[in-house]
Structure 1
Amino acid sequence: MQAITIKFKDKLIPVMNFTHKRSHMELLSSKLTELEYNFEFRRKLKMISMIEIIGDVAIFKYNDGTKLYLEVS
C-alpha cells in the first residue's frame, strides 16, 4: 500500500493507493484538475480527511464517517 499526499487548493490530503499503480494517481490528479472550478466539489473537499484508491474508484472519506465515491478512469 502506498501512502502519498496530494495538494489541492492549499490543503494536503493523504491518499492511500491500494492498487499500487502510478497511473491511478495520475488519473486522480487529472480528475481533480477537471473539478478544480466546480464550487460544490471544492466546498466538499475542504472536509475530506483522506482519499483511498481502490481499482478505478477514489473514495473520499470525511471526518464524520461519510464517503464520496469518484470514478477516476
Structure 2
Amino acid sequence: MQAINIRFKNKSIPVLNFTQRHSHMELLSSKLKEFELHFEFRKKLKMISMIEIIGDVAIFKYNDGTKLYLEVS
C-alpha cells in the first residue's frame, strides 16, 4: 500500500487509506478544513507522524506512540 500525502497548513502528512476509497480521503480533507481554525487541534497536528484511514475513522498517530481517533463520515 502506498502512502498519499495530505497538506495541512505548511505540513505534509502521509496518509494510509486501508479502505482504498477516494471518498474517505475527501471526507478527511473536509474534516481538516473544519478544524482549520481550531487552535488546540492545529497544535496537536504539528506532532503527528502519519494518518491511517480504516473504515469511517481516521487514526492520527503521534511520534510518541499515542493516537487520536477522528470520525470522518
Which interval holds the TM-score relative to the shorter structure? over 0.9
The CA distance in 2 between the partners of 1:30 and 1:49, in whole Å, is 20
Q: Any unmatched runs of 5+ in structure 2?
A: none
1:2: how far off?
4.2
The CA distance in 1 between the partners of 2:25 and 2:2, in whole Å, is 10
Q: Which residue is equivalent to 1:56?
A: 56
TM-score by length of 1: 0.98
The CA distance in 2 between the partners of 1:25 and 1:11, in whole Å, is 17
**Aligned AA for 1:57?**
V
- The aligned length equals 73
The CA distance in 1 between the partners of 2:35 and 2:23, in whole Å, is 18
TM-score by length of 2: 0.98
What is the identity percentage for the equivalent residue pairs of Structure 1 and Structure 2? 82
Q: Which residue is equivalent to 1:33?
A: 33
Q: Which residue is equivalent to 1:9?
A: 9
Shift >6 Å, 4+ stretches: none
The CA distance in 1 between the partners of 2:60 and 2:68, in whole Å, is 5
1:33: how far off?
0.2
Q: Which residue is equivalent to 1:19?
A: 19
RMSD: 0.7
The CA distance in 2 between the partners of 1:21 and 1:5, in whole Å, is 15
